[in-house]
Amino acid sequence: MAGPEYHHRMLHLHSTSPDRWLAQVDQNLNDILIDHAHCEQKAASTAMHLMFEYVENEDLRQEMTEIIAEELEHFHMVLALLKQRDIRFYKMKPGTYGRKLMGLCRRQEPHKAVDRLLVAGLIEARSCERFVLLRDHLQDTQLSDFYGSLYESEARHHATYVRLAQSYGDDAEVSSRLEALAEAEAKIIADGCELPRVHS
Amino acid sequence: MAGPEYHHRMLHLHSTSPDRWLAQVDQNLNDILIDHAHCEQKAASTAMHLMFEYVENEDLRQEMTEIIAEELEHFHMVLALLKQRDIRFYKMKPGTYGRKLMGLCRRQEPHKAVDRLLVAGLIEARSCERFVLLRDHLQDTQLSDFYGSLYESEARHHATYVRLAQSYGDDAEVSSRLEALAEAEAKIIADGCELPRVHS
């Protein structure tokens, strides 16, 4: 089993999640599960949005179509898990993570495309890192197994988004933006969010 | 083969498309094909939007998931057809049809849900009617076969949306709104739209 160091390099993350987050998880597990359903939903919406925004990119179209199908499958899996546990799914106020990241994206094309794809990739990366933490931390074997089964697809989506960003900028630009956005992402994670969420 | 009368009853449409539309098709076939790709795109977006808006409805969630997959498959099929014909896909100004129909939806839930589902169903119905017309009208066998292969799924989606509307209103309400919206839809079609589109 690869250790967390390995994951972080592969995922371009600039930090590991603080213990504070696992404490939030322990105290608000149901909220985290409900928010996980929201995350899959947002991931599917984002992929569809990107597909239609950059529809002339055939590679992107194919990848987004696969990601949409996978995220929707995960969405249904989380909802089934909630139902089995008698946890009512409801529309929860989102945490601040996604909004803060979106605010970092440049507004002019093609830079906007680079940034939006990299931000989508970093969200997948952080999800991956946290799903591994949940797998290792949660005592509940069903949940531990569930997160153990999901994190690899998040890592794969991360790699896909980073690769797709390279259609809209040269290697130097994409690398430097990836580092800058990952640095900002680590800062957002360090600041945290009071609401218990997957990315709080 | 069932005649158009049969289709219209099944589809709850209050009119057949005017010859004016087939004249638009003949003079602007490429635009119609490009707009068809946009229609599949909008159909997938609408289904995803409805799924997340009415996420507590398990039946709706399952149906929307299937519709999203089908619409995206059709979207890719239309894009492949465009590519094969060297027609460049680009973001085209939408016709007025969708906006006019959306404007008819009531704003308060659960009536909003009834109306949005019925409007989605009527758009599918009109697409179905027009795909049959294209199948019968177009001399190009590839296109004629293509539309012949697509219209049944539109009819199926129509029936699904009408059935799902019944989760949000009783039979009398859903029937009377379906008739009222279909009447308005026929008027919108009769008024037409100068831009050559699938629903102009």
Give the mean pLDDT of B55-68. Answer: 94
Instruction: Search chain A and give the residue with CA nearest B74.
Output: A65
Residue with tokens 């060297």: B86
What's the pLDDT band for A1 if we cut at 50, 70, 90? Answer: very low
CA distance B42 to B75: 10
C-beta atoms of A48 and B52 within 8 A: no
CA distance B12 to B21: 20
pLDDT of B177: 98
Q: What residue spans define the domains of chain B?
A: 21-191
What's the pLDDT band for A6 if we cut at 50, 70, 90? Answer: low
What's the pLDDT band for B1 if we cut at 50, 70, 90? Answer: very low
Give the mean pLDDT of B126-142. Answer: 97
CA distance A114 to A63: 16
**Hey, is the C-beta of A44 within 8 angstroms of any chain B C-beta?**
yes
C-beta atoms of B45 and A52 within 8 A: yes
Contact present, A127 and A198 (Cβ < 8 Å) = yes
Residue A4 has pLDDT above 60, yes or no: no
A31-42 pLDDT per residue, tens: 999 999 999 999
A54-97 pLDDT per residue, tens: 988 999 999 999 999 999 999 999 999 999 999 999 889 999 99
Pick the CATH number of A21-191 from 1.10.3720.10, 3.40.50.1980, 1.20.1260.10, 3.40.50.11260: 1.20.1260.10
CA atoms within 13 A of residue B110's CA, in its CB half-sphere: 12
Contact present, B48 and A44 (Cβ < 8 Å) = yes
Q: pTM to 2 decimals? A: 0.91
CA distance B36 to B99: 16
CA distance B147 to B136: 9
pLDDT of A69: 95
The mean pLDDT of chain B is 94
Under the phi-then-psi rule, with left for phi > 0, alpha for psi from -120 to 50, and beta for the rest, what region is B22? alpha
CA distance B199 to B187: 12
Measured between alpha carbons, how far is residue A145 from residues A28, A134, A137, A150 in Å? Answer: 19, 9, 11, 9
Angle at A16 between CA A12 and CA A22, to 5 degrees: 140
B162-182 pLDDT per residue, tens: 999 999 999 999 999 999 999
Chain A nearest-CA distance from B126, in A, is 23
CA distance A57 to A168: 10
Residue B31 has pLDDT above 60, yes or no: yes
* Chain A, chain B: beta-carbon pairs less than 8 Å apart: 33
